[in-house]
Structure 1
Amino acid sequence: MDLSLKQRLLGAAVLIALAVIFVPMLISGSAPQKSAEMETSTLAIPPAPDREFQTRVLPVDPSAANPTAASTPAPPPDTIATVDTSTAPKPAPPVAAAPAEVASAAPSKPAPTMPEAVKPQAAKPEPVETAKPMPGLAANGRYYVHLGVYASDKNARDLVASLKKGGFPASAEASEYQGKPAERVRVGPFADRAAAEAARLRIKQAQPGVPGSVVAAMEDATSDAPANAVPAARAGGWAVQLGALKTVDDANKLRDRVRNAGFVAFVDKVDASGTALWRVRAGPEVDRAAAEKLRAGIKDKLKLDGIVVTQ
């Protein structure tokens, strides 16, 4: 088929399709419906309210506002005020006194005076007696190795003899056991607990079946410790004991007093005959001469007596 004929047929088909769509619309004359968004509505405006307006004129002149002041003419500026002295002024009528004032004017009975309370006199505080330190009380401590109490004298003597052969300073003392006489065996004395403990261990090796324990025995000192009480090679074995007190509070107070004076002091606890004592000591010192010098300084500064003891 010829190309030009095809184009003509195609164009005719397009025209027929357009006619089928638009011709019925033109013939019916119906327009497309409007949507709700495109609709318009009229709003009724309410009428204006009825208002009555009043017009008032306010005067600015104060005399117009106060007619009484306006009726009284103002005096001229050059007029001098005068007072009429020919007529005596009328006295004002007496004012009756109020009943309360009349009652107050009447004499009243004086109120009875209460006797002053007698103030109790403060009781004078009684002087508190401070514990007086005893320098020599429980000053010397001795340590022993206790090896038991024996009811048989022979057993006690045999044990003492055996210990002496081994080089121990053993001894037997009379004692009691369940109300019967007995012998107590011990080794010592030793200057400190360490030496007594070392002796107990050596005795334990030599006599395994013998029970042993370290005990302390405190003695009161009546004078200074002798110069040979401590070996010369042992440094710091001397001190000055200033007292032995029964309470730790009193001992601490005495210690603090010595410290505040510039000396080194300490407190140690001992058991003397079943009673606890707190000893106050100054030092320790390297030798006995230094301990004696320390005692003299404390005596001069604090007026406290002391004894030289081993430490």
Structure 2
Amino acid sequence: MDSALKQRLLGAAVLIALAVIFVPMLFTGSAPKQESATLNLEIPPAPDREFDTRVLPVEPSRSSSVPATVSEPVVPVDVTTAPPTSALATPAEPEPAPAAVPAAVEPKPAPTPTATPEPPAPGTAANGRFLVHLGVYTSTKNADDLVAALKRGGYSAFSEATEFQGRSAQRVRVGPYADRAAAEAARIRIKQIKPDVPGSVVAIAESATADAPREAVPANRAGGWAVQLGAFKTVEEANKLKGRLQAAGFVSYVDKLATEDQTLWRVRAGPETDRAAADKLRGRIKDKLKLDGLVVTQ
């Protein structure tokens, strides 16, 4: 190989080496340089000199162009002592508001007390009696003949005046009997001896003023006694008295008595097995409720 070719190859190698070194430096550039400094944080010493204290006046100077707003001289006030009481303005007391006049209230009328009807006496229409009714006769002679015949047969017959179709008449009856069963038995016996005479059993109300006799109920009949406390024309009044008895602890009931003239509701306590027990029951009711009663049969 000749020397010229070697020189050219060596020159090319040098150029390549320089390009490899300097070309990257052209694209990246050099980094900026950072400078560092050290700061002194120590507090400087106080100055070696005295300070002067000056008092500046707050009043405006006379040469000021702004006019003074205070026309009167300022009086100094001693704050160590309180001002006299007379110098303080006493606030006026507010006038009392006029009292409100209440509106006139019309007085309410007093409620009229309702009169509570007093229960009738225990004996008023208390007992029912039963009669055998044997018809109404416009002929007095026929009525008298029938009464005489019945009396001869041992019956307590009687006649009483009445009216029939606007005419005076007589009605014939037998009795009275203490219960309906006895009256019904008498009607059947009379029918046997007087088959042509119509007969029926009617009830009447009779005032009882005394207790039923001890022999009114057979000794072998249990539960035939009671204490009657009253008889009423309405069932509502009878139920009120019954409720009063039950509230006091007494067994009571209402017994209806339908007569040919009216219907009554009797209030009774019991029943009791014998007359002595009925007497004791009447005493307990008297002591607890102050109610009088009559001992009656069932």
Cα RMSD of the aligned pairs, angstroms, is 3.2
Matched residue, 1:252: 239
For structure 1, the residue ranges without an aligned partner over 5 or more in a row are 1-85, 89-111
The structural deviation recorded for 1:297 is 0.3
TM-score, with structure 2 as normaliser: 0.59
The structural deviation recorded for 1:135 is 0.8
Q: Does the 8 Å CA contact 1:218/1:272 hold for their aligned counterparts?
A: yes
TM-score, with structure 1 as normaliser: 0.57
Matched residue, 1:287: 274
Matched residue, 1:212: 199
The structural deviation recorded for 1:179 is 5.0
Match of residue 114, structure 2, among 105, 116, 128: 128
Give the letter aligned to residue 216 of structure 2: A
1:1-311 equivalent positions in 2, closer than 5 A:
116-133=102-119, 134-271=121-258, 274-311=261-298
CA distance in 2, matches of 1:114, 1:240: 66
Q: Does the 8 Å CA contact 2:202/2:260 hold for their aligned counterparts?
A: no
Q: Does the 8 Å CA contact 1:131/1:245 hold for their aligned counterparts?
A: no
Give the letter aligned to residue 144 of structure 1: L
Residues matched between the structures, number: 207
Deviations 1:57-106 (A, max 9, x none): xxxxxxxxxxxxxxxxxxxxxxxxxxxxx9x9xxxxxxxxxxxxxxxxxx
Q: Does the 8 Å CA contact 1:236/1:286 hold for their aligned counterparts?
A: yes
Deviations 1:92-121 (A, max 9, x none): xxxxxxxxxxxxxxxxxxxx9996433344
Give the letter aligned to residue 214 of structure 1: V
CA distance in 1, matches of 2:251, 2:106: 48
The structural deviation recorded for 1:271 is 4.4
The structural deviation recorded for 1:272 is 6.0
- CA separation of 1:247 and 1:174: change in aligned 2, threshold 3 A: closer
CA distance in 2, matches of 1:147, 1:248: 32
The structural deviation recorded for 1:210 is 1.2
Q: Does the 8 Å CA contact 1:138/1:272 hold for their aligned counterparts?
A: no
Identity %: 65
- CA separation of 1:152 and 1:140: change in aligned 2, threshold 3 A: same
Give the letter aligned to residue 139 of structure 2: S
CA distance in 1, matches of 2:223, 2:112: 43
The structural deviation recorded for 1:201 is 3.0
